Structure 1
Amino acid sequence: MALSLFGGKKHLHHFVAEQDVAKELFALLVEAKTMYLRDVVTGNKQYYRYVEDFVNSHRYIDCDHAVCRNCHEMNIHIVKGLLNDCSHLIRAFFTEADFSFEKCMELKRTYDTFVPPSQSVTCCKDGPTRIYPLSFGCNLTRKQMIGITACANAYHLFCVSTLHVEDMEALLSCKEGFCIRVNNIRHVAILFDTLLEHSFIQAKWQSVLSSGRFLQTKDGKGFVSASSLSSALSALRNNMTSTGYGIRRAIDELREW
């Protein structure tokens, strides 16, 4: 049973060919684009929350035919994979005025061959052996996490009106699909550098943030790279500001918590 979501209306008919499956995938992505522009771009909803809300609100169809339900489940799985693993591509496509069926199929082909940046594969002569997810190796209590969030809010590190503890937990746990816009890259860099100094996180934090695409640039047009974080940290160390010292003091206090 293919599902068309154009204009907020649902038209149901049974899947009878591969083209029906492709058309439903396109309809789902068109709806995902609409929700993205409304909720994330205009409404400032966190991207990872938008993904969860979209997938959960489109998980089921009103049909008991096994073929239809299986095809829809496959499409939802593809959409979820695209939104999470290929978020950098999705954002580019979704901000274009013309999102066509052909571009939808191009995304599908990319999804079929894409290796998520949040995983690295160790290979041997017999092929891939182990997969290591990204991690900061955090060693933080709930109270310390609250303190880090309060610091981020006090110094406006991110482009959100209020950063919630759940957002900071999502960032520091490398939650799949999570990303947040940086207000000042130097201040974010000094936050992570101070966390490292107190052994709250591991030394690879720059590469983790870059590989996972967890930080968006302030203009929302790209992602913060490891080299940008390194340069920002060096620049602030050479010319410390009152904000930089304030962030350091706030994180220093967490040692006693």
Structure 2
Amino acid sequence: MECVDDFYRELYELFVIARSWYLQAEKNHLKTECFMELFERGHNYVDCDFARCKNSRQMMLGIIGTLFRDKKCVAIIKEKDDFTQQEIIELYLRHAGAGMWVVPDKKSSTLTLGCQLSDSQMDLLVELVQSHDIFDLADESDVRSVLCSLLKCNVGVSVRVKNVRNVAILFDAMAQYHMINNNWQYVMGGGRFLNRIQKDGTEKYITSSCLSSSLSRVRRNSTMTASQYAICRSVEQMLRAE
């Protein structure tokens, strides 16, 4: 994977194949999750030993999965016969979210999650974060204040993550219930709002591709831990507390 152009080109080629498979799967009354599982298994292999190539393929499969799991995207995909590479990129960014290497427009460079939680919802979110391995916050931290700054995407804010997959599950669930924008991966990665400590003790920002890959692994394996199920249920409770 030499550059962003190569990434987009390969993503487009995968999309064309996925669309053909999806239309055939629909004729055979195959459920979307079954179709995605077959597609991901069939295209998971990369004839390259470099980690960046394998990670890029995982990210592409995550993007394809997001497109075909989103009802708005599927409606557009079925209605239109031919897509250009640029149209696929725009479709993903407009309707499904992010995780792609895109340079934001200078006129609209402000990153936002579009989050407006009520006080009761924030109370539940604080309780959720404190109950599960999500963020690695200092004991003396004001959790509510930290979360408010993160959700508002305040400049300079960067929260340390304890478990990347749990973070991905949390934000994905919030996006599904329309509590935050679908492009949360792009926002979190682009703004460098999340970080983690490496094995060598150094700090590293969590990229949108890392978030996308983490979420894709959970979806591909169709398995979640008890804690991750609890996170999803807690987000559902937040919705009812609106």
**Normalised by the size of structure 2, how large is the TM-score?**
0.51
| Residue equivalent to 1:69 | none
- AA of the residue aligned to 2:217: A
Q: CA deviation at 1:120?
A: 4.4
Offset of residue 224 of structure 1: 0.5
Paired residue for 1:180, among 128, 146, 159? Answer: 159
Deviations 1:148-170 (A, max 9, x none): 12111100311114451010000
- Whether the 8 Å CA contact 1:159–1:218 is kept in 2: the answer is no
Q: What is the CA distance between 1:236 and its match in structure 2?
A: 2.1
1:233 and 2:219 equivalent? no
Instruction: State how 1:36-51 maps to structure 2 within 5 Å.
Output: none
Query: Which among 114, 118, 121 is matched to residue 144 of structure 1?
Result: 121
Task: Name the structure where strand makes up a greater proportion of residues.
Answer: 1
Deviation of the 1:221 alpha carbon? 2.0
Match runs of 1:113-152 below 5 Å: 120-122=104-106, 130-152=107-129
Q: For 1:30-63, what per-residue CA distance to the aligned partner results, in whole angstroms no more than 9, with x for missing partners?
A: xxxxxxxxxxxxxxxxxxxxxxxxxxxxxxxxxx
Which amino acid in the other structure matches residue 236 of structure 1?
V
Unaligned 5+ segments in structure 2 are 1-102
| Greater relative CO (CA pairs within 8 A, separation 6+) | 2
Question: What CA deviation, in whole Å up to 9, does each residue of 1:61-110 have, x standing for no partner?
Answer: xxxxxxxxxxxxxxxxxxxxxxxxxxxxxxxxxxxxxxxxxxxxxxxxxx
User: Which of 190, 194, 201 lines up with 2:180 in the alignment?
Assistant: 201
For residues 121 and 187 of structure 1, the distance between their equivalents in structure 2, rounded to whole angstroms, comes to: 30
Unaligned 5+ runs, structure 1: 1-118, 123-129
Q: Give the structure 1 partner of residue 237 of structure 2.
A: 253
Partner amino acid, structure 2, of 1:232: S
Among all aligned residue pairs of Structure 1 and Structure 2, give the percentage whose two residues are the same amino acid.
32
Q: Find the counterpart in structure 2 of residue 38 from structure 1.
A: none
Q: Which residue of 1 aligns with 2:130?
A: 153
For residues 108 and 170 of structure 2, what CA distance do their matches in structure 1 show? Answer: 29
Structure 2 residue aligned with 1:90 = none
Q: Secondary structure at the match of 2:238?
A: helix
The alpha-carbon deviation at position 218 of structure 1 amounts to: 3.1
SS in 1 for 2:135: coil
Structure-2 separation of matches of 1:150 and 1:201 = 18
1:234 CA displacement: 1.6
Partner SS state of residue 217, structure 1: strand
> 1:223 Cα shift?
0.5
Displacement after TM superposition at 1:240 (Å): 0.9
**Equivalent residues in 2 for 1:14-25 (5 A)?**
none
- CA deviation vs aligned residue, 1:139-188 (integer Å, no higher than 9, x gap): 31122122112111100311114451010000000011110111000000
Q: Equivalent residue for 2:205?
A: 223
- Equivalent residue letter for 2:208: A
RMSD of aligned C-alpha atoms? 1.7
Q: Where do 4+ consecutive residues of structure 1 move more than 3 Å?
A: 119-122
> Which whole-Å CA distance do the structure 1 matches of 2:105 and 2:177 have between them?
30
